[in-house]
Amino acid sequence: MKVANLDSYIDYLKFQKAYSDYTVESYYNDIVEFLNYCNQEALDYKKVEYSDTRIYLMYLKEQKKDTNATINRKLSALRSFYKYLVNQKVVKSNVFNLLNGQKKAKKLPRYFEYNELEELFKVPDTNTDIGQRNLLILEMLYATGVRVGELVNIKIKDINKNSRQILILGKGNKERNVSYGEYCEDILNKYLLYGRVNLNKNNSEFLLLNHLGNQLTERGVRYILTELIKQTSLSKSISPHMIRHSFATHLLNEGCDLLSVQKLLGHESISATQIYTHVTTDRLKEVYYNSFPRAKKDD
């Protein structure tokens, strides 16, 4: 469905808000779904009323069978879109502001145990250009905790090999430096010396390249991770964010303070980082029962 206001909104998300490709695509799909619904119900999206949004909410729940989390995501995309339409004077008010979000069950972040990551790290064949790149993806996601959108946008000039730091352009165009350790350093140096030289057919400025020599995309990274985990004994699914969760969880389990983890993750608010304290509770219990002399009775 071709809507000029949607095209300009997507450009706004890309170029002014600097949202990742994955986020922009998600917003686009959620808004298009609503516009198609309006078309189907003979509604003018510029004249939608509160009662229409209530019926749409029922449609998502009862016909689409969307989860509360999915519904909240779609409502968030529509609130943002209609806020943009209000600012552009296309509509008078944002009717989606009147619609309450759905109650969401608190979901703890999924993560890998360290031994599981070690198994994953053994999969790529570093005798090949693609294998070197794939191991670097794994090591860099885990070593730095960066988001996948931040990872694929790393340029060669952003890397300071002397200090083992990378300048990252995060959400809202905010910059931060992340560090990487010796394991990541080893594969980075090997990839820069061999794999990337062979892959770089187009004189690209980006670190991670696909087989055509172009910048690797977020979708490409997700596909690579899915293919890699198939070659392990692990039954877990995988995503770049799951490795980011592992980075944060392992730091906290090893005694890193929450404020430092917040800075390393690039979270604007400490509240976004606090979810990881729930994950580490199990680890604290384990330490307590194994270490405290009166935690358990002798048989």
Amino acid at 243: I
Residue 211 known to be catalytic:
no
Catalytic residue among 133, 196, 244, 250: 244
Q: Bridge-partner residues for 206, per DSSP?
A: 155
Helix H or strand E encompassing 71:
helix 68-87
Using CA atoms, how far apart are residues 63 and 46, in angstroms rounded to an integer? 24
Catalytic residue among 155, 164, 190, 267: 267
Question: The tokens 């879109």 sit on which residue?
Answer: 81
Per-residue buried b or exposed e for 96-114, using 16+ beta carbons within 10 Å of the residue's own CB: beebeebeeeeeeeebbee
Question: The tokens 């307590």 sit on which residue?
Answer: 288
Residue 74 known to be catalytic:
no
Backbone angles phi, psi at 121, to 5 degrees: -65, -20
Helix H or strand E encompassing 123:
none
Residue 250 known to be catalytic:
no
Question: The tokens 């985990």 sit on which residue?
Answer: 229
Residue 245 known to be catalytic:
no
Residue 283 known to be catalytic:
no
Yes or no: say if 139 and 184 are a contact pair by the CB < 8 Å rule. Answer: yes
Catalytic residue among 74, 133, 147, 245: 147
Using CA atoms, how far apart are residues 223 and 148, in angstroms rounded to an integer? 12
Catalytic residue among 110, 164, 171, 283: 171
Residue 294 known to be catalytic:
no
Yes or no: say if 247 and 145 are a contact pair by the CB < 8 Å rule. Answer: yes
Residues 6+ positions from 138 with CB-CB distance below 8 Å: 117, 120, 121, 124, 225, 228, 243
Using CA atoms, how far apart are residues 58 and 76, in angstroms rounded to an integer? 16
Q: Which of 243, 207, 202, 204 is nearest to 222 (CA)?
A: 243
Using CA atoms, how far apart are residues 214 and 206, in angstroms rounded to an integer? 8
Could you give the residue numbers annotated as active site?
147, 171, 241, 244, 267, 276
